[in-house]
Amino acid sequence: MSSIFSYTFAPDMNSIETKDRLPAPATSQIFSSLLIALGFVLLGLFVGQMLGFLVSWLLFGMDMAYVSQIMLTPSEDAAVRIPLMLIQAGSTLFGFILAPLLHLKLIDKEPETAWFQQHSLSVVLVGVVFLLTLAFITANSVVIEWNMHLDFGAFSTSFGEWARAKEESLSELTQFITQFDSTGSLLAGLIVIAILPAIGEEMVFRGILQRKLQQLTHRPHLAIWLAAFFFSAIHLQFYGFFPRLLLGALFGYIYYWSDNLWYPIAAHFLNNAFTLIMLYLYQQKATDIDLESTDSVPWSMALLALVVGAGLLVYFRQTAITLRDTHDG
C-alpha cells in the first residue's frame, strides 16, 4: 500500500518495443511542460493541504500547529484521525488529480482521452488486471521481506539512520490512520487511501511523467523504470523502496501496452484496497493473516504466484495490443 503521506501501431510484436507511440514535440517544450506540471502538482498539494487544515480547524477546532505536531505521535490523540484523513484527501484531490487535469487542459492542451481511451476499455482485461495484481502482491511479499531487512547503513550510516527513522515515523502514522473500528471508517479509508491515490498517482507518474520521459528518451522501458523509481522514492519509505519500484514498473507496463490509464488505476486501487480490507479483517479477528507482518509467503506460493502472474501479464499484453489495433485499424 502506498504511504498516505508523504498508440497506435501495427500488431507486429517485434516493433512494439521500439516504436515511439507518442508525438515528438521539441525537447525544450517537453522539459518546460514537465517543469510546469511539477509546479502545478506542488501548488495543488499546498492548496489541498491548507484546505484540509482549514476544514479541520472549522469542524474540530484543531489548528495547523497542533495537527502538524500530533502527526509525529498520532496515537496520543485518536480524535486527530479524521483531520489527518481530510488533509490527505485534500492533498491528493488538488495535487494529484485536479492539478494534472488542469495541466493537461491548459498547458498540453490535450483532451482527457489522451489518458483514458474509452474504446480500448475491456471488462475482461480489467478482470485480468485484478488477478494479475493479486498474483503480484503474493510474489512481491518476498521482495518486501528482503527490503525490510536491507541494511542501508552499509551504504551510508547517516542515510541508513535517517531512512530507518523515517520508516518508523511513517509506519506509525499509517498504522494509526488504518485503525478501522467500523465499516464506515473502512469505507472512508478506501476513498482516501485507495481510490483517490490510485487515480491521482497514476495521472502524475504514468499519465504525465512516464509519457514525457518517453518523449524525451524515445525509450519506453527506460521511461517506465524512471517513472517507477520516482514513484517509489517520493513515498520516502526506503525499507519498502524495491517492492514499490516493482509495483510502479508493473503499472507502467500496463499503461504502456494498453495506452489507457484506467487499467493501471484499477491495479493501483486493488493493491491499496486489498491491503486495507485485509487489515480491517485482521483487526476484526476475521482472519489470521497480518499484512503488517514483514514475513513473506512460503516460497512455493510465491513461485506459483510469479508463474501465474507472468502468464497473465503476457495475456494482458497481447490482448491489449490486439484490442487497440483492432479499433485503430
Can you give the pLDDT at residue 327?
A: 66
CA atoms within 13 Å, Cβ hemisphere of 228: 24
Give 83 or 324, the one with higher predicted confidence.
Answer: 83
Q: At what angle do helices 81-91 and 27-60 cross, to 10 degrees?
A: 150
Q: Which of 8-17, 100-109, 170-179, 187-196 has the lowest mean pLDDT?
A: 8-17
**Cβ neighbours of residue 227 closer than 8 Å, sequence gap 6 or more:** 205, 206, 209, 210, 213, 248, 252
Distance between CA atoms of residues 75 and 222, nearest Å: 42
The pLDDT-based confidence of 8 (bands split at 50, 70, 90) is very low
Give 96 or 238, the one with higher predicted confidence.
Answer: 96
In a domain, 9, yes or no: no
pLDDT at 17 over 60: no
Q: Which of the given ranges, 22-31, 72-81, 203-212, 318-327, has the highest pLDDT on average? A: 203-212
pLDDT at 12 over 80: no
Can you give the pLDDT at residue 48?
A: 96
In a domain, 7, yes or no: no
Distance between CA atoms of residues 80 and 247, nearest Å: 31
Can you give the pLDDT at residue 158?
A: 82
Range of the domain at 251: 27-328
High-pLDDT (> 90) share of the chain, % = 59
Can you give the pLDDT at residue 20?
A: 47
In this predicted model, what pLDDT tens digit does every residue of 144-177 receive, in sequence order? Answer: 999 988 887 777 778 878 788 887 888 888 888 8
Distance between CA atoms of residues 2 and 15, nearest Å: 34
In a domain, 15, yes or no: no
Can you give the pLDDT at residue 294?
A: 62
pLDDT at 282 over 60: yes
In a domain, 196, yes or no: yes
In this predicted model, what pLDDT tens digit does every residue of 104-146 receive, in sequence order? Answer: 999 999 988 889 876 678 999 999 999 999 999 999 999 999 9
pLDDT at 262 over 60: yes
In this predicted model, what pLDDT tens digit does every residue of 203-258 receive, in sequence order? Answer: 999 999 999 999 999 999 999 999 999 999 998 888 889 999 999 999 999 999 99
Give 28 or 51, the one with higher predicted confidence.
Answer: 51
313 within 8 A of 136, measured Cβ to Cβ: no
In a domain, 59, yes or no: yes
pLDDT at 56 over 80: yes
- Residue in the block written with cell 493541504: 49
Can you give the pLDDT at residue 328?
A: 61
Can you give the pLDDT at residue 116?
A: 87
In a domain, 10, yes or no: no
Distance between CA atoms of residues 100 and 212, nearest Å: 13
Share the mean pLDDT of the chain: 87
**Is 0.75 surpassed by the pTM of this model?**
yes
In a domain, 304, yes or no: yes
In a domain, 6, yes or no: no
Question: Given CA atoms 115, 120, 122, 128 in this order, what sign does their dihedral have?
Answer: negative
**Cβ neighbours of residue 189 closer than 8 Å, sequence gap 6 or more:** 85, 177, 178, 180, 276
Distance between CA atoms of residues 63 and 54, nearest Å: 8
Q: What is the mean pLDDT of residues 42-71?
A: 90
Can you give the pLDDT at residue 103?
A: 96
Number of domains comprising the chain: 1
Give 290 or 185, the one with higher predicted confidence.
Answer: 185
